[in-house]
């Protein structure tokens, strides 16, 4: 178990004695998992279980329009789902065991897109994105399902988007923590150019780990791809948590600390 060290002054009759407390660290990292559009929290339960084995407190949840609230999917907006994510983040850091300077957000596709935006609104130390989607900023309060009708997302994702032109990419450009970015080799929904837009945005990241899952499609529809992604996430979290316990690594940006 890692320990914290801090100095104290011990009052005695004629003044103070200098002392040093060495005490076990009583808080642990937190990990928030965010599923993609059309998914649910079940997809991240095994990864959360393995992250918990590293000594993390993990939270999975269903975005509005998914799971129990599937009937609301036709009308839910990006703003509503972002508010869901903020509420889930706040629930995670309210856990009494959480180290608020050591929070990871891991999201897939639409969840990765929202996770990138979250970094502007809450302190995040580690950001894991698998095939993060891109959407035009216009129509923020339009039902999310309608965006695929009103916007040519296929064409939009097939070009390199400047970070200044997209909310998720602007947030990524300001992020100063550690990043895991995972691409699927045969992704027809979030192509390589969309991943490249994120890659060029993360210029301020403390570290950037970029991996491609060979043979994988967007939804990781085969068991081998699922296992590969789980291994990537768990290995990356292991490295990040170990670095945190060894010393200050990849701190959350100063402006986002509370």
Exposure string over 217-248, b if 16+ CB within 10 A, otherwise e: bbbbeeeebbebbbebbbebbebbbeebbeee
Residue 33's closest CA among 54, 52, 53, 9?
52
**In this predicted structure, what is the pLDDT of residue 107?**
97
| Alpha-carbon gap, residue 108 to 75, rounded angstroms | 21
Decide if 200 contacts 170 (C-beta within 8 A).
no
Decide if 234 contacts 227 (C-beta within 8 A).
no
| Cα–Cα distance list, 39 to 101, 139, 180 (Å) | 29, 22, 21
**In this predicted structure, what is the pLDDT of residue 246?**
77
- Domain parsing of the chain, residue ranges: 26-256
Spans in the chain with pLDDT lower than 70: 1-3, 24, 247-258
Top CATH class, 26-256: alpha beta
**In this predicted structure, what is the pLDDT of residue 2?**
62
Edge-to-edge strands of the sheet including 57-59? 57-59, 28-34, 98-108, 126-130, 178-184, 207-213
**In this predicted structure, what is the pLDDT of residue 248?**
54
Q: Which residue has the tokens 């629930």?
A: 91
What distance separates the 2 farthest-apart alpha carbons in the chain? 79
40 three-class SS: coil
| Alpha-carbon gap, residue 49 to 83, rounded angstroms | 25
Beta bridge partners of 179: 127, 208
72 three-class SS: helix
| Alpha-carbon gap, residue 73 to 79, rounded angstroms | 13
Torsion angle, alpha carbons of 99, 104, 105, 108, to 10: -150
| Alpha-carbon gap, residue 244 to 258, rounded angstroms | 18
Predicted model pTM = 0.88
Torsion angle, alpha carbons of 129, 50, 34, 148, to 10: 60
**In this predicted structure, what is the pLDDT of residue 251?**
47
**In this predicted structure, what is the pLDDT of residue 231?**
97
| Cα–Cα distance list, 140 to 76, 86, 91, 227 (Å) | 11, 16, 25, 34
């Amino acid at each position: 178990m890692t320990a914290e060290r801090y100095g104290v002054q011990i009052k005695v009759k004629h003044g103070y004695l200098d002392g040093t407390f060495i005490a076990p660290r009583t808080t642990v990292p937190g990990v928030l998992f965010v599923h993609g559009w059309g998914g649910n929290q079940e997809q991240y339960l095994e990864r959360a279980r393995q992250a918990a084995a590293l000594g993390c407190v993990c939270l999975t949840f269903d975005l509005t329009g998914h799971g129990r609230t599937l009937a609301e999917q036709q009308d839910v907006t990006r703003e509503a789902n972002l508010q869901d994510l903020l509420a889930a983040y706040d629930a995670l850091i309210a856990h009494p065991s959480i180290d608020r300077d050591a929070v990871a957000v891991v999201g897939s596709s639409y969840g990765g897109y929202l996770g990138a935006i979250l970094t502007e609104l809450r302190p995040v130390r580690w950001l894991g994105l698998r095939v993060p989607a891109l959407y035009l900023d216009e129509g923020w309060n339009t039902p999310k399902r309608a965006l695929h009708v009103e916007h040519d997302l296929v064409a939009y994702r097939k070009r390199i988007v400047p970070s200044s032109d997209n909310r998720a990419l602007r947030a990524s450009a300001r992020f100063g923590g550690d990043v895991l970015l995972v691409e699927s080799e045969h992704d027809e929904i979030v192509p390589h150019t969309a991943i490249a837009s994120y890659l060029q945005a993360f210029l301020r990241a403390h570290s950037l780990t970029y991996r491609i899952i060979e043979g994988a499609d967007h939804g990781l529809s085969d068991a081998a791809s699922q296992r590969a992604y789980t291994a990537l996430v768990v290995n990356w979290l292991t490295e990040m948590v170990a670095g945190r316990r060894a010393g200050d690594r990849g701190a959350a940006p100063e402006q986002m600390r509370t």
